[in-house]
Amino acid sequence: TVGEASYSGNISIPENLLQVGNNVISAELHQTNINSSDYIFGAELVIRGELTPATPGTPFAKSDEEIFEIGKPFWENLVRSSNLKDYGGFTRDFSTQMLFGANEVELGKQWANSPILAKLSPEFEALGCLKRDEYVTVIFKQVSESVPGEYLGRLVLGMQDDDVKIYGCTIF
C-alpha cells in the first residue's frame, strides 16, 4: 500500500517522440482495493522549447494542378452533400479538429436559411492554391443553381496521420 500521496518527480519525454499537431499522453491510476475511495492524481505538462513545424510534404510539395486533382473529390463531395443536406456525407472527410467545430443543428440552419448552399452547381473552377506550413488552401469559383452570381469557395486541406483531411471549407 501507499501512504500519503506525494510528488513523484519529472518525467521527460524525448523530443523525437513528439510530432507537430496533436500528441496524446495517457496515464493510469491503480488502486489496491476496488472499493477504496482514497485516490488522487495530478499532472502538469510543461513544454520547454518549441517543436519545429514539419516541412510541407505530400500533397503540399506538388504543383497547383496536382493539388487541384487531390482537392477536387473533396470539393465535389462537399457540394453534393450540401445539396442533399447530408450532414454525415458533408463531414466525412473533416479532420478531427474540424469535427470539433461541426454542429449538425447549426449546419442544418445554414442549409435551411441559405438558398445558395442547397442548390450549388456541380460545375466549379479551381482558381489557385495558397500553401503555408502544413496546410494548403484551394480556391474555387462556385455558382448556385438558385441564386445568380459567382461565389468564392475555400477548401483548406492538411494531413492527419497519413490521410489528407479537410481543415476548413467556406462559400462566400
DSSP 23-36: ---------SSTT-
Give the model's pLDDT for residue 169.
92
Whether the pLDDT of residue 59 is over 80: the answer is no
Cα end-to-end distance, the chain, whole Å: 63
**HSE on the CB side for 166, CA within 13 Å?**
24
CA distances from 99 to 2, 28, 166 (A): 42, 27, 9
d(CA 71, CA 59): 10
Q: How confident is the model at residue 24 (pLDDT cuts 50, 70, 90)?
A: confident
**Distance from C-alpha of 157 to C-alpha of 77, rounded to nearest angstrom:** 14
- Comparing 106 with 141, which gets the higher pLDDT? 141
Nearest to 20 by CA among 156, 165, 135: 135
Structure confidence at residue 56 as a pLDDT band (50, 70, 90)? very low
Residue 83, pLDDT > 80, answer yes
